[in-house]
Structure 1
Amino acid sequence: MNFTLNQLEEARRALDAPLFANLSGDAHVSFEFFPPKTEKMEQTLWSSIQTLAPLAPRFVSVTYGAGGSTRERTHATVARIVKETDLAPAAHLTCVDASKAEIEEVVRAYWDAGVRHIVALRGDPSEPGKPFAPHPDGYANAAELVAGLKAIAPFDISVATYPETHPEAASSQTDLDNLKRKLDAGASRAITQFFFSPDTFFRFRDKVAAAGISTEILPGILPVSNVAQTRKIAAMCGASIPSWMDQLFEGLDDHPATRQLVAATISAELCRRLYAGGVRNFHFYTLNRAELSYAICHLLGLRPQTAAKEAAA
């Protein structure tokens, strides 16, 4: 029987060791949630937090709506995490529609509640489609916000970065310059916008290193279960969805369980390839659901800490 080169390559891959065999469990993770709007959504969120907490995340972040629209709910969620769990929460904060005095009031309340980590963002305008305009008495950008936060209290600060370039940036170089300003202002790490190709992250990591930036760049992973929703978000933040991924979800609108399996497979393979490239820290955009993130973490070798301790005893 004759085999093409492509068939031989596929056969070689199939006969190699399984992708997730014998991983040492040395990966570290963090999770992002958003503040719930309803009681039912709150139950879903807390169920997800309880499911993911035993994986001992480095931190869990809680998002902040455009224009500060979720300020109270974000604070309430973060405060509850501090009060009811052993997790380290990171509160998102933006510059939008807030004076420096208002931001100081918010962050001092966080500090008093025991929060020591802020994800500092410029933020999206409160009115979609309109360009960002700084508050007359506020911070003009995320770099200024980082410096302002550091002047208020010694927060651990994370910032955002865009492997495929922020849609408002004049060029990839100006986007990289902006990242450097945020890190120079005192940020400890940058969390990337989601992406779906490992090469996207590796190329960006090389570019960051070439620019003399040695600060941690944390890849943001979005396990996709709703392609239409993901496409909408991706269009807003400049992330590209590969055609092959679109094709894998075709015909699955009425098959939610199958969509979950496909989504977990795609995201797990992405994380495994990142792991092979030396990545050991992953940040998951959970959309307040635990199943996909938990499955991927399990494939990466992570196990609940309590179970691990009992097994070692």
Structure 2
Amino acid sequence: MQISKLFEQKSPVLSFEVFPPKKESPIETIYQTLDELHDLSPDFISVTYSAGGSGGNHLTCDIASAIKNKYGILPIAHLTCVSADKEQISAELDRLKENGVENILALRGDINPNVPRKYDFAHASDLTAFIKERGGFSVSGACYPEGHYESENLIEDILHLKKKVDAGAEHLISQLFFDNDLFYSFLERARIAGISVPIEAGIMPVVNKKQIERMVSLCGASLPQKFVKMINRYEHNPEALRDAGIAYAVDQIVDLIANGVDGIHLYTMNNPYIARKICESIGALRQTNV
């Protein structure tokens, strides 16, 4: 099934993101995580694209295939192009197709000064167009409620997003954010620009201070004052900060669902406990909106 078709059947859609295990971790760890996430009945699970996995980038395809064939859940495989040429991307697409994975999240990827960059695909919109031209896949894209860090302003950011959708992106997943008002403002800009595809809100439960510092440094998400107070208040009490982070994420999700969001994409960080606590808190909301 194509991811975009899910949004015609139910609202809100609930999805998870997982990532391949790091080199020092055995592959079995991700399947232990998926065993638990499966019980939470997500509508789909995305798998990040990372050369840092114990099996390299092939692991993304292997995990996505297992999500579909072992767990019976719709998978979406991340695919980045910043360090790949058309031949390499074609090989990745062939591998995904052979494994029955038909949904792709097309991304440019972060520029790494230690990895040679290739220029067959300058932007995610170029990768999206290439995949659509080949056919056989449903393509999703990323969006940025506060604007991509390389965009000069929010208007330019929306114009780039519109180009991505015009190239064939059928569904969008947002970067993490901690202020729902920023997401609602972004959503309004997107709809005014004629972007009508489903847009999922990306939510990351923060469970430790180092995690949020690392994520903010990577994506530039702003931190509301009440969020900063929460982090500072509980930073030396790991259990309390974990529970506070879960509660903050639940509060965001409740508000988003009440405002008719298309879907919630939960960045699980491969932590089933946190995903379970959140799903338990919003279970009735999901049933009401089906």
How do 1:13-162 and structure 2 match up within 5 A?
A: 27-38=12-23, 40=25, 42-65=27-50, 70-127=56-113, 135-136=118-119, 138-162=120-144
How do 1:233-272 and structure 2 match up within 5 A?
A: 233-250=215-232, 252-272=234-254
- For residues 12 and 154 of structure 2, the distance between their equivalents in structure 1, rounded to whole angstroms, comes to 29
Deviation at 1:197, TM superposition (A): 1.2
Contact 1:55 1:302 in 2 (8 A): no
- For residues 216 and 127 of structure 1, the distance between their equivalents in structure 2, rounded to whole angstroms, comes to 34
Structure 1 residues 92 and 26, CA gap change in structure 2 (3 angstroms): closer
- For residues 267 and 42 of structure 1, the distance between their equivalents in structure 2, rounded to whole angstroms, comes to 29
CA-based RMSD? 2.6
Structure 1 residues 41 and 172, CA gap change in structure 2 (3 angstroms): farther
- SS of the aligned residue for 1:119 comes to strand
- For residues 303 and 202 of structure 1, the distance between their equivalents in structure 2, rounded to whole angstroms, comes to 20
**Deviation digits for residues 280-300 of structure 1, max 9, x if unmatched?**
510001111112222222221
Q: TM-score, normalised by structure 1?
A: 0.81
State which drifts further: 78-87 or 29-38: 78-87
Question: Are 1:200 and 2:182 counterparts?
Answer: yes
**Deviation digits for residues 239-268 of structure 1, max 9, x if unmatched?**
112232122122534432222211111000
Q: What residue identity is the alignment partner of 1:125?
A: I
Contact 2:173 2:201 in 1 (8 A): yes
State which drifts further: 246-255 or 152-161: 246-255
- For residues 54 and 304 of structure 1, the distance between their equivalents in structure 2, rounded to whole angstroms, comes to 15
Deviation at 1:151, TM superposition (A): 1.6
Deviation at 1:214, TM superposition (A): 1.0
User: Number of paired residues?
Assistant: 277
Structure 2 unmatched ranges of 5 or more: 1-9
- SS of the aligned residue for 1:301 comes to helix
- For residues 88 and 179 of structure 1, the distance between their equivalents in structure 2, rounded to whole angstroms, comes to 25
Contact 1:59 1:87 in 2 (8 A): yes
Deviation at 1:171, TM superposition (A): 1.3
Identity among equivalent positions (%) equals 35
Contact 2:209 2:235 in 1 (8 A): no
Deviation at 1:80, TM superposition (A): 2.7
- SS of the aligned residue for 1:89 comes to strand
- SS of the aligned residue for 2:283 comes to coil
State which drifts further: 241-250 or 263-272: 241-250
Contact 2:200 2:264 in 1 (8 A): yes
**Deviation digits for residues 175-214 of structure 1, max 9, x if unmatched?**
1011111111111111100001111111111111111211
Question: Are 1:175 and 2:157 counterparts?
Answer: yes
Q: TM-score, normalised by structure 2?
A: 0.87
- For residues 241 and 28 of structure 2, the distance between their equivalents in structure 1, rounded to whole angstroms, comes to 23
Contact 1:120 1:159 in 2 (8 A): yes
Structure 1 unmatched ranges of 5 or more: 1-24, 306-313
**Residue number in structure 2 paired with 1:291:** 273
Contact 1:227 1:249 in 2 (8 A): yes
- SS of the aligned residue for 2:145 comes to coil
Q: What residue identity is the alignment partner of 2:121?
A: Y
Structure 1 residues 39 and 80, CA gap change in structure 2 (3 angstroms): farther
Contact 2:200 2:262 in 1 (8 A): no
Question: Where does structure 1 differ by over 3 angstroms across 4 or more consecutive aligned residues?
Answer: 38-44, 66-70, 251-254, 302-305
**Residue number in structure 1 paired with 2:4:** none
State which drifts further: 247-256 or 173-182: 247-256
- SS of the aligned residue for 1:160 comes to strand
- For residues 244 and 99 of structure 2, the distance between their equivalents in structure 1, rounded to whole angstroms, comes to 40
Q: Which has the larger radius of gyration?
A: 1
**Residue number in structure 2 paired with 1:17:** none
Contact 1:67 1:124 in 2 (8 A): no
Deviation at 1:216, TM superposition (A): 0.9
State which drifts further: 76-85 or 28-37: 76-85
Q: What residue identity is the alignment partner of 2:221?
A: A
- SS of the aligned residue for 1:250 comes to helix
- SS of the aligned residue for 1:64 comes to coil
State which drifts further: 162-171 or 59-68: 59-68
